[in-house]
Amino acid sequence: MTERRPQTLDIEQVIRTKAGKNAKFIPQFLINWFKKFMRLDYINEFLEKGYVGVEFCEECMKHLGVNIIVEGRENIPANDGKRYTFVSNHPLGAIDGVTLGTILGKQYDGNIKYLMNDIVMFLEGMKPFGIPVNKVGGQSRNLSALMDEAYGSDTQMIIFPAGLCSRKIDGKIQDIEWGKSFVTKSRQTGRDIIPIHFEGRNSERFYRVATWCKRLNLFNFAMLLLPDEMFKSAGKTYKVKIGKPIPITSLDRSKKDIEWAREIRQHVYEL
């Protein structure tokens, strides 16, 4: 059993660390408001138990009372040493990641990795799974090397190719265009691709904020709403549909990788 790491999240430290040299311009009243808005007491009540890895994901869902219905579980390949890339839409931004960490982490004995907002990397319980992606400051210079290392290892990769949780686009809750790297990296490392569709949505407030941030070219304030959105998931039931493996050999050079990414995105939404 993985050694537990009890933690109390110091959100002020997280904010000021991420703000870097601009930290001195952040007023204390704003940080205090954010602590309350994030429901920090509720979060720390869970973090103080020290769960790590798969246990963290499982217990987080229990803590929130979230129920998951899984369809197509038979499409999850056996834990026989072969490597795969699991790709999913990203409607919620938190619960969907924790859910896949539970389902696939149990199947593969915790041998999973996924790209993770590096703010989430402050959570000790999630660190074993994370490849940090900086969504606040400049992109980490060594991300490419970390990706190559992860795809080249024996770990199972879980990817949300949109890079952001879903937005309201043309009146529908859906991902933005998927990046192509999961196709490119999977081909380079001989990984078949397992498509996953997660049914769910955030609040209308979240989508309004996300829309105005985009229109006004502002910092992604919608990201700061995700802890509250996660709290609102308490007691809800979500459905996960797992599709049949897509052989990487079927993604030939007749199309560009970005075109294959678009086709797989469409396939996910048709599951």
194 SS3 class: strand
User: 89 — phi, psi (to 5°)?
Assistant: -70, 170
Dump the DSSP string for 33-66.
HHHHHTTHHHHHHHHTT---THHHHHHHHHHHT-
Six-digit token pair at 170? 């043309």
Domains and CATH numbers, the chain: 66-270 (3.40.1130.10)
CB 102 within 8 A of CB 54: yes
Cβ within 8 Å of residue 171, ≥6 positions away: none
> What was the pLDDT predicted at 19?
67
* Closest by Cα among 158, 156, 157, 160 to 89: 160
CB 29 within 8 A of CB 85: no
Question: Does the model's pTM come out above 0.85?
Answer: yes
Give the Cα separation of 148 and 152 in Å (integer): 6
CB 83 within 8 A of CB 182: no
What number of residues does the chain have? 271
- The one-digit pLDDT tens for each residue of the chain (271 residues) are 567 888 888 877 777 776 677 777 778 887 787 777 777 888 888 889 999 999 999 999 999 999 999 999 999 999 999 999 999 999 998 899 999 999 999 999 999 999 887 667 778 888 889 887 765 544 555 778 888 999 999 999 999 999 889 998 888 999 999 999 999 999 999 999 999 999 999 888 888 888 887 777 766 667 777 777 888 888 999 999 999 999 999 999 899 999 999 999 999 999 9
> What was the pLDDT predicted at 18?
67
Kindly give the pairing relationship between strand 156-159 and strand 112-117.
parallel
> What was the pLDDT predicted at 141?
58
Six-digit token pair at 203? 């609040």
> What was the pLDDT predicted at 163?
87
